[in-house]
Amino acid sequence: MPSSKFCMLIIMHIFSIMLIMQIVKRVMKMGYSQAQKAESRQRVLETAARQIREDGIEALGVADCMRRAGLTHGAFYGHFESRDALIVEALEYAVALSEKRIAATVAAANASGSAKKEPLRVIAEMFLSEKHIKDPGNGCALCSLAGEARHAAPAVRESLTQYVHKLAARIAQTLAGDSESLPLGIVATIVGAVTLARAVDDPETARSILAGSLDLIVAQGAEA
């Protein structure tokens, strides 16, 4: 028969294996929980970014946002400190999406050769399209929020101001001259045209606003 010492060693070995398995399970569960939390936070961010562009900043309600994201109201503060914190992060997320979309559009046009002819037109057409007008929830945050931004928190205005300069810098790259005011003027034309096209109740008028603004921007670019 095995000695008591040998039996004790076997028991200790089994206990060690069980302990290691418990630790591994705990670590895996912790990692899974963190991944779940990150995924939930991302859903809230995406939902809020879409809501503020579609309905405006003031219309964003925490309970409604969490419901749309498929989460409970009580889970909100596990992800964000406050509603204001969510708004700022959602805006930054929306702006980042717009910047990526611009870069992708220009890259695709470069690949086809069209951007080499009229790079400014490529960017302007992306904003001044009926698709963009009809889908503010997935569109440019600046075009959606410019009208109410003057009443918004300083952090929101700061984020939008930074985006204005980034967009102007992107447009400046398409111009031959070195004017500092023209790129900002083109940004203003784009935002104003989108805002007005969304405001009118006549589709034909909206299309005319978009087409006329596009022609104006392209002409300004050609004269630069």
Summarize pLDDT for 129-166 with one digit per residue, the tens: 999 999 999 999 999 999 999 999 999 999 999 999 99
Summarize pLDDT for 79-135 with one digit per residue, the tens: 999 999 999 999 999 999 999 999 998 888 877 765 455 889 999 999 999 999 999
Summarize pLDDT for 24-46 with one digit per residue, the tens: 566 555 554 778 888 999 999 99
Output the pTM of the full model: 0.80
The token duo for 88 is 């700022």
Average confidence (pLDDT) over 177-197: 94
The answer to which of 123-132, 139-148, 172-181, 200-209 has the lowest mean pLDDT is 172-181
Does the pLDDT of residue 201 top 70, yes or no?
A: yes
Average pLDDT taken over every residue of the chain: 88
| Secondary structure string (H, E, C) spanning the chain | CCCHHHHHHHHHHHHHHHHHHHHHHHHHHHHHHHHHHHHHHHHHHHHHHHHHHHHCCCCCCHHHHHHHCCCCHHHHHHCCCCHHHHHHHHHHHHHHHHHHHHHHHHHHHHHHCHHHCCHHHHHHHHHCCHHHHHCHHHCCHHHHHCCCHHHCCHHHHHHHHHHHHHHHHHHHCCCCCCCCHHHHHHHHHHHHHHHHHHHCCCHHHHHHHHHHHHHHHHHHHHHC
Domains, in order of start, for the chain: 4-223 (1.10.357.10)
Let me know if 99 is exposed, middle or buried by CB neighbors in 10 A (0-12, 13-18, 19+).
middle
pLDDT for position 119: 85
pLDDT for position 2: 54
pLDDT for position 87: 95
What are the distances in angstroms from CA 139 to CA 25, 96, 99, 101, 131? 43, 11, 11, 10, 9
